[in-house]
Amino acid sequence: MMEEKGEKNGVAAMAACYQKFDPVAYLQYNYTPPRADFTRKDSIVPWKLACLHRALNEGDVSGELLVDIGSGPTLYQLMSGCEVFNKVILTDFLEVNRQELRRWLQDEGKCSLDWTPYLEHVCKLEGRRPSAWPEKAAKLRQVIVDILPIDVHCSQPLAPDTLPSAGADCLVSCFCLESVSPDLPAFTRALGNIQKLLRPGGHLLLIGALGESYYFGGPGVRIPVVPLNEAQVCTSLKESGYTLIRLEVYTLSQDMRVGVDDVTGVFFAKAKRD
Ligand SMILES: Nc1ncnc2c1ncn2[C@@H]1O[C@H](CN(CCC[C@H]2CNCc3c2ccc(Cl)c3Cl)CC[C@H](N)C(=O)O)[C@@H](O)[C@H]1O
C-alpha cells in the first residue's frame, strides 16, 4: 500500500504542475529557431521529422488508425502519418492543449504557431514541392477524427470504447511519457498502459528526452522530468511488451540548449507490440 501511495502522490504532484502549463510559451520555447530551424541539419525539429518520415515509409507500417499520445499543442508529429493512415486521433491531458489543436483544425487563423514551414519541410521529405503544403494541411485536417482527453498513468488511458476493440494500428508519442512520470517505474508503467491501446503487431513510434531532469512549461512553470538513458529506454520497452526495431539518438549541440530544459539528447524508438 505504501508503495502505491507513493506512486499516487508522485503522479498527483505532476498533474498539479501541469495545471500551469502555458501552450503559447511552450510553443515559443521549443518550436521556433534554433530548435526548429529548417535551414540547419543539426536542428532538433528537422531531425524528429526525418525520423518519423523514415519510420513510416520503409514498408512495414500500415493500417487504418494512428493515435498520438500526449499531443500537446503540436501537430508536427502527425505530418508524415497523415499520409499513411486514414484516421488519426489526437490526445492530451490538458483542455488548453486540446483547445489549441481544435483551433488549428477549424482553421480559425488564430493559431499560436504557424505550422507552414513544418508542412513545407515534410513535403520536401516526401519528394513533393514545398508549395504543396496546403494539400498536406488539408489532408491532416481530413484524417484527424477526434481530440480526446488522456492520462497515461491510468491502466485505461482513454475512455472505454474510444478505440476499435482490436486497438490502434500505430501509436506515436513525443516527449510525453518521461515528462509526465515522476520516476522510472512510472515511465515503464505508462509504456505498459499505452501498449494496451495498440493492436498486437502494431507499431510504436516513440520520441523522448535523454538526461532531462526538468523543463519549463511556461514562464516560471518548472516541470520535473525523469532522467532517462538509452539502456533504460530499451529495458522499459522490453518490460512493457514491445520488441525494439530501431533506436536512434540525437545529441544537442551547445546552441540547442536554450535554457528551457536541461535535455542532453533525444531518442527515437521504432518498436512493435509483441
Ligand atoms: N498524465 C498525462 N497523460 C498524458 N499526457 C500528459 C499527462 N500529463 C501531462 N501530459 C501532456 O504531455 C505533454 C508533454 N509535452 C511536453 C513535453 C516536451 C518538452 C519537454 N521535454 C524536452 C522537450 C520538449 C519539447 C520539445 C523538445 Cl525538442 C524537447 Cl527536447 C509533449 C507535447 C508534444 N507531444 C510535443 O512533442 O511537443 C503535454 O502536452 C501535457 O499536457
Express each pLDDT in 202-249 by its tens digit. Answer: 999 999 999 999 999 999 999 999 999 999 999 999 999 999 999 999
Phi-psi domain of 99 (left: phi exceeds 0; alpha: psi -120 through 50; beta: other) = alpha
Q: Select from 55, 35, 54 the least CA-distant residue to 44.
A: 35
- 3-class secondary-structure state, position 217: coil
Check if the beta carbon of residue 260 is closer than 8 Å to that of residue 222.
no
208 annotated to bind ligand: no
| 221: Cβ contacts below 8 Å, ≥ 6 apart | 17, 20, 21, 22, 25
Domain ranges of the chain: 1-273
pTM: 0.97
- The CATH superfamily of 1-273 is Vaccinia Virus protein VP39 (3.40.50.150)
Atom of ligand 1 nearest to the CA of 45: 28
Q: How far is CA 234 from the centre of its chain?
A: 18
pLDDT at 4 over 90: no
| pLDDT tens-digit map of 93-146 | 999 999 999 999 998 778 899 999 999 999 999 999 999 999 999 999 999 999
Centroid of ligand 1 to alpha carbon of 70 (angstroms):
6
Task: Grade residue 3 by pLDDT with cuts at 50, 70 and 90.
Answer: low
Please state the rounded mean pLDDT for residues 84-93: 98
Q: Which of 150, 175, 253 to mutate to test the pocket of ligand 1 (most atoms within 8 A of CB)?
A: 175
71 annotated to bind ligand: yes
pLDDT at 6 over 90: no
Please state the rounded mean pLDDT for residues 68-73: 98
